Amino acid sequence: MLRAPFLAMYRTHSCNDLRKEHVGQSVTLCGWVNTNRDHHGVIFIDLRDREGVTQIVFRPEENGDVAEASHKLRGEDVVQISGRVDSRLPGTENAKLATGDIEVIASELKVLNKADVPPFPLDDPKVNEDLRLEHRYLDLRTGPMQRNLKLRHRVAKTTRDYLDERGFLEIETPVLSNPTPEGARDFLVPSRLNPGTFYALPQAPQQYKQLLQVAGLEKYFQIARCFRDEDLRADRQPEFTQIDIEASFIAEQDIQDLIEGLLVRIFRESRGVEIPVPFPRMTFEDAMNRYGSDKPDTRFGIELVDVGNVFRESQFKVFRAVLDGGGVLKALNAKGAAAALSKEQLKKWEEWVKTEFGAKGLAYIKWSAGSAAEGSPFAGWESPIVKFFSDTEKAALAERMGFAEGDVLFFGADKWESACEVLGRVRLRCADLLGFIPADALNFLWVTDFPLLAFSPEESKHVAVHHPFTRPKTEDLPLLEAGEYRKVRAVAYDVVLNGMELGGGSIRIHERDLQAKIFTVLGVGPEEQQHKFGHLLKAFSFGAPPHGGIALGLDRLVMLIAGAESIREVIAFPKNNRGVDLMTNSPVEIDFKQLREVYIQSTAKKG
């Protein structure tokens, strides 16, 4: 880590600079009183600045007045201290501190600002988060938060350097813009100069970055702020930051290589680890089939297995109905889970999949260790459904799943995607419960060949899985023509780390007619196309190059590197999970006059 080279007039060194070789030098330091101790009339303070901590000693016998004044110092007072660097007495060195061999004997003390008692102890890791957010400027003084923000800077800086070296230009795009169809609600801003009209804050700079390709800029990036009005979770914020990239004359593989190189650099420079490349690749279909997720956590093995064949002729009506109705039957063997999963717990899990994922149930077989009876190999199977299975089915199931004493087998019987998804969630929960996940593993992976379109029953129409600008695979264009929309695959890819989506992108449509066709399939008629996307369609008719791109979530990436629990830990001034900035109290009610200026009449009262 570089030392702060810019100290200007107030100080000669930072609080992390002084070592044995400085002994005897006169120095001036500035910072906050971190701790103060009175040792038989001798005051010791730990002086803290952004770089570190230095011990200051006020000796009454050397500088009486200054020592006297030091008695009044309190935690978080801001001071300027001059003095002489001295070695600490043998045996009093602090090996944990970079400056632990020395101390500064104070000869001058200037209190630059007194501090009130902080509302919480700054070194207490268990402080309530609301209190921290309300006084974020204090929270950010703490070691972990300073480390996180430095790390964030390092990741952003590495990104800029890496992309600059490869000819990418950092170009800003408007924050006041048009609605973008990225799948969330827009934040709207009324325009005073154009009564009755609104800007939308960008959910992503998607159309602008594509238009920059039409404009011939060829390689664009931006560390871009994006705004999405969604319900918040631990890893979501209404405004967040993306490393946004777009380039012309580029194929899927080029973008994946570029991002692998970027992540190698970021992990090397910020965490000192070498990540292996190329990352494994898995199609969406494979990921769903094997892991029940489009962002599979591949740090542990247990995989989903199709057991439809075993039960194709079964007397068990529930399985048969699903199979005969075109659904699938998948199973998952939670190896060694029997001891950890009581019947009550399994009931709770069933409730969980029902309420959370709308599953009809969670069929299971538990085989407790030591329960197999002589001559009856399946006697130990505990399950509400095995009584409907024939012995042949049981034997085939056990063999296919490697089912043994001590295991719990789960079933997912439903339409393909739902069956996979539910078992995928069960898989993650088992891994958590059984401690299958190795602590330090970094499992990167590309998931490719996503479907282009999905059917939304709520909207009763097709919606874009990535976004409407994503290119269908050339070999699937006949399926698009034939109206087999669900079968069309996209040239879209996500980069996944330990079961989390780090980012995603696609090769784009650059032909006007194909783009118009996709809008039509998405239920956007010609008039609406003109109104909402006329600029893009028009631009495509003036020589748009083939292009594609990707965006990585910067907050999430930094969170993972920092080992933080939530992205709020790596954002200087985040909103809480109700979308409120507790420090400034934003969002606030706006007075009538200001609203009238932008032609808004509020019908809501703050709740």
Comparing CB distances to ligand ASP, the nearer of 480 and 551 is: 551
User: Is 506 among the residues that bind ligand ASP (CB under 6 A)?
Assistant: yes
Q: Say whether residue 182 binds ligand ASP (CB under 6 A).
A: yes
- DSSP tag of 545: P
Residues 6+ apart with CB under 8 A from 114: 74, 77
**Alpha carbon distance 332, 286 (integer Å):** 15
Q: What is the phi/psi pair of residue 123, to 5°?
A: -100, 15
Q: Check residue 173 for interaction with ligand ASP (CB under 6 A).
A: no
Nearer to ligand ASP, 231 or 399 (CB): 231
Asked if 448 interacts with ligand ASP (CB under 6 A), we say no
By CB under 6 A, name the one of 204, 262, 282, 465 that touches ligand ASP: 204
List the structure tokens of 239. 């405004």
Distance between CA atoms of residues 531 and 519, nearest Å: 12
**CB neighbourhood size of 315 (10 A):** 11
What minimum distance in Å lies between the beta carbon of 500 and ligand ASP? Answer: 14
Would you say 206 or 298 has its CB closer to ligand ASP? 206
- The DSSP bridge partners found for residue 412 are 330
**Per CB under 6 A, does 550 bind ligand ASP?**
yes
In this structure, are strands 102-113 and 53-58 parallel, antiparallel, or unpaired? parallel
Closer to ligand ASP by CB, 70 or 506: give it.
506
Task: Candidates 301-309, 378-386, 547-555, 576-584: pick the segment binding ligand ASP (CB under 6 A).
Answer: 547-555
Q: According to the binding rule CB under 6 A, does residue 14 interact with ligand ASP?
A: no
Does residue 551 bind ligand ASP (CB under 6 A)? yes
Q: How far apart are CA 11 and CA 4, in angstroms?
A: 12
Q: Is residue 207 a contact residue for ligand ASP (CB under 6 A)? A: no
Query: In angstroms, what is the minimal distance from the CB of 503 to ligand ASP?
Result: 7
The closest alpha carbon to 240, from 503, 468, 583, 492, belongs to: 503
- Minimum distance from CB of 29 to ligand ASP (Å)? 45
Residue whose CB is nearest to ligand ASP in the complex, by number: 204
| Residue span binding ligand ASP (CB under 6 A) among the ranges 69-77, 147-155, 166-174, 499-507 | 499-507
CB of 447 to ligand ASP, least distance (A): 14
The type of residue at 523 is G
Nearer to ligand ASP, 311 or 446 (CB): 446
- The region of 75-83, 136-144, 395-403, 546-554 touching ligand ASP under the rule CB under 6 A is 546-554
Instruction: Using the minimum distance from each CB to ligand ASP, give the nearer residue, 18 or 452.
Output: 452
CA distances from 475 to 121, 479, 488 (A): 62, 8, 9
Alpha helix segments (H runs only) across 249-390: 252-271, 284-291, 317-324, 343-357
Q: Candidates 212, 504, 558, 575: give the one binding ligand ASP (CB under 6 A).
A: 504
Q: Tell me the window of 151-159, 510-518, 548-556, 581-589 that interacts with ligand ASP (CB under 6 A).
A: 548-556
Question: What distance in Å separates the CA atoms of residue 381 and residue 408, rounded to the nearest whole number?
Answer: 9
In the complex with ligand ASP, the residue whose CB is nearer, 494 or 569, is 494
Angle between helical axes of 554-562 and 252-271 (0-180°, round to 10):
40
Six-digit token string for 396: 């085939």
Nearer to ligand ASP, 84 or 185 (CB): 185
Rg (the chain; Cα; Å): 31
Identify which of 115, 92, 100 has the alpha carbon closest to the alpha carbon of residue 52: 100
- Chain centroid to Cα 588, Å, comes to 28
DSSP 140: T
Q: Does 406 bind ligand ASP (CB under 6 A)?
A: no
Residue 549 makes contact with ligand ASP by CB under 6 A:
yes
Contacting positions for ligand ASP (CB under 6 A): 182, 204, 206, 504-506, 549-551
